[in-house]
Amino acid sequence: MSDTETPWLSADEQHSWRAFVLGNTLLVNRLDEELRRAHGISLPEYEILVRLSETPDRVMRMAQLADAVCHSRSRVTHTIGRLEKSGIVRRETCLEDGRGVQARLTTEGMALLERAAHTHVLGVRTHLVDLATVEEFATVGKVMNAVTDALIGAYPEAEIR
Amino acid sequence: MSDTETPWLSADEQHSWRAFVLGNTLLVNRLDEELRRAHGISLPEYEILVRLSETPDRVMRMAQLADAVCHSRSRVTHTIGRLEKSGIVRRETCLEDGRGVQARLTTEGMALLERAAHTHVLGVRTHLVDLATVEEFATVGKVMNAVTDALIGAYPEAEIR
DNA sequence: GTCAGGTAGTTGAAAGTTCAACTTCAAGTG
DNA sequence: CACTTGAAGTTGAACTTTCAACTACCTGAC
């Protein structure tokens, strides 16, 4: 972080990096727009609903949810607040831990998610997966997995925590 | 978009897709944080400065800038407003087009950008490029280029425009 | 010339996100 | 048990982004 020389990207690397940034922006915008248009929920909201739907009882602790989707706790509090107001999710106090709060996917929420999933999966296929070969997409997954491994739990140097 | 069957991802595809989403979130958060911490600018702001710096006179029209970084015009207006207040950018009226406004990178802005670029490039290398082989990263670029090509200028069906 | 329609950009309010302060409860220590 | 420390969540304000309405100007048709 304190080198004096800047390790510039090669021309090829830079092209790939720019394609990555741009493609990503377009992709996320598009998936978000499709969900909003068809079902009235945003992509971040959708991701929360997916996590909830994958647990046995469709219930999760707030912090668990925050970690899973990689949002701040505060953000999850606000988001769940909105989803609760729409009847998609219900807040429950946690029995084992007096401080804890659980978010539970309601029946209506589950129904919404099932409809939204169709739109979402179709979008992911059309705008990404089907544009690459199986091998190419596997490579993308491998690289992004490496990114995750390198970054997860790795905080900037200054702050030890 | 109106099929009744949902074309679910295979297990492998889903793993790659999730790695993509998560890795991406972590990567963007990290690059943004590094820039804020070291130079007080956000990643979207940095991207705007880069575009400006790449033109001969470090000047660009607002709409040009918006298209380049894929932000709404309104967003660019607000962002440039903030950057202008910090002395990083200057707004100028456009001679050829009375409606037009140009953003010009100031000397201080350019100096800031040069410092920030070091941080940014190092981050992109450390957290992405250097984690993959040259071939792997080229594949990522290729796939994301395909995404861009498929999405650019392609608006959702309902709205023809 | 003038009028219609479109493009460039801004504006302010609404929506969403971040940030720091705060409350409540849990767990470990003496 | 009392006390300290820390974790779980929430809160409201500040900040960023989006959205819809608006001003100003350009262009082409008549």
pLDDT digits (tens, 9 = 90+) for B9-67: 999 999 999 999 999 999 999 999 999 999 999 999 999 999 999 999 999 999 999 99
Closest CA to A88 of A123, A56, A40: A40
Interatomic CA–C1' length for residue A144 and nucleotide D24, angstroms: 47
Strand D atom within 7 Å of A82 CB: no
For chain B, say whether A152 makes contact (Cβ under 8 Å): yes
Strand runs labelled E in B20-100: 59-61, 89-93
Please check whether residue B147 is in contact with residue A23, taking contact to mean a CB–CB distance below 8 angstroms: yes
Nucleotide in closest CA–C1' contact with A32: D18
Rounded to an integer, the average pLDDT of A85-111 is 95
Q: What is the DSSP letter of B123?
A: H
Residue B103 or B154, more confident: B103
CA–C1' B135–C15 (A):
42
Strand C contact residues in chain B (62-101), C-beta within 7 Å:
62-64, 66, 73-74, 76-78, 80-81, 91, 94, 97, 99-101
Dihedral sign for Cα A63, A69, A70, A75, please.
negative
CA of A98 to C1' of C30 (A): 25
Helices (H), A40-133: 43-53, 62-69, 73-85, 107-127
pLDDT tens digits, one per residue of A5-61: 899 999 999 999 999 999 999 999 999 999 999 999 999 999 999 999 999 999 999
Per-residue pLDDT, B37: 95
* DSSP letters for A10-46: PHHHHHHHHHHHHHHHHHHHHHHHHHHHHHS--HHHH
Does B139 touch chain A if contact means CB atoms closer than 8 Å?
yes
Report the share of chain A in percent with pLDDT over 90.
89
CA end-to-end span of chain B: 19
Q: Which of A72, A134, A26, A30 is nearest to B17 (CA)?
A: A134
This prediction has a pTM of: 0.92
Q: Is pLDDT above 60 for B2? A: no
For B23, which DSSP code?
H
Nearest-CB residue to A151 (from B17, B26, B140): B26
Please tell me the distance from the alpha carbon of residue A69 to that of residue A49, in angstroms, as a whole number: 10
Residues of chain B with Cβ-Cβ distance to A126 below 8 Å are 150
3-state helix, strand, coil in chain A (%, to 5): 65, 10, 30
A159 confidence band (pLDDT: 50, 70, 90): very low
Backbone angles phi, psi at A50, to 5 degrees: -60, -45
Q: What's the one-letter identity of residue A117?
A: A
Query: Does residue B161 have a pLDDT over 60?
Result: no
> In 3D, which of B13, B139, B149, B128 has the Cα closest to residue A124?
B13
- Closest residue in chain A to residue B145, using alpha carbons only: A19
